[in-house]
A = this chain, B = another copy of it.
Amino acid sequence: MTTKERILQGAHDVFQRNGFSGATMQAIAEKSGVNKALLHYHFGTKTELFHAILQQSFSQLLPAVFMALNSEMPLRDKLRNVVELYLGTIIKNPELPLFVISELQRNPSFIKKQINLRSFPPRFVQQVNDASARREIIHAEPADIMADLMGLCILPFVARPILQHLSGKSNAQYKEFLQHRVQHVCDVLVGGLFQVQR
């Protein structure tokens, strides 16, 4: 593992836990086991180092989902597929969503400058609009379904402290809860969109 990678790893940990303002170069240096000046030698400024981390974090979170959303699969299966993929990613890195969301909220310009996703995947948009027009799903637009999907997936992670407290679950129980969530989210999402006529 090269020094640069060790620093990126340390920066990732510290930024993710504390956010941009809460993180200090000293803390990152210690976490990485190198001298503070080395951070500047390799990455210039705190902001540049942070942007490297934010970029990397973001690209862990959405691009794979977008690829899946752009596949040929029928909408119903696609949604199940994406939920599994998305939740799988998040379970492996539970602090990722809140980090990305918080920091993008405070660096909105970063989105336009650094993120190369320009719009929802065209095939997904097509499918949703078609299905909505044909009444196969309830009236909805792509942004709705994207919001549903993301919201249902990330909430138990971003709001874990409060949700775990209120449900009185132990850590182990909460982990189990998260496992079951995959199925639950699929059921609610697919079942809520593809409603039978009553």
Residues of A within 8 A of B (CB): 17-22, 62, 98, 101-102, 104-106, 108, 111-112, 115, 117-120, 138-144, 146-148, 150-156, 158-163, 165-169, 177, 180-181, 184-185, 187-193, 195-196, 198
Residues of B within 8 Å of A151, CB to CB, are 151-156
A191 to B196, CA, bound (A): 9
Contact indicator A146/B161 (Cβ below 8 Å): no
> Number of copies of this chain in the oligomer?
2
Residues of B within 8 Å of A101, CB to CB, are 98, 158-159, 162
A166 to B141, CA, bound (A): 13
A104 to B189, CA, bound (A): 28
Contact indicator B148/A188 (Cβ below 8 Å): yes
Residues of B within 8 Å of A112, CB to CB, are 165
Contact indicator A119/B191 (Cβ below 8 Å): no
A20 to B18, CA, bound (A): 10
Given A21-B18, A120-B167, A161-B108, answer yes or no on A188-B192 (Cβ-Cβ < 8 Å): yes
Q: List 10 A-B contacts (CB under 8 A).
A: A18-B106, A104-B161, A119-B166, A141-B177, A142-B167, A147-B152, A148-B152, A148-B155, A151-B151, A190-B192
Contact indicator A191/B138 (Cβ below 8 Å): yes
A99 to chain B, nearest CB (A): 9
A139 to chain B, nearest CB (A): 8
A192 to chain B, nearest CB (A): 3
Residues of B within 8 Å of A158, CB to CB, are 101, 105, 158
Most buried by B among A140, A151, A156, A160: A151
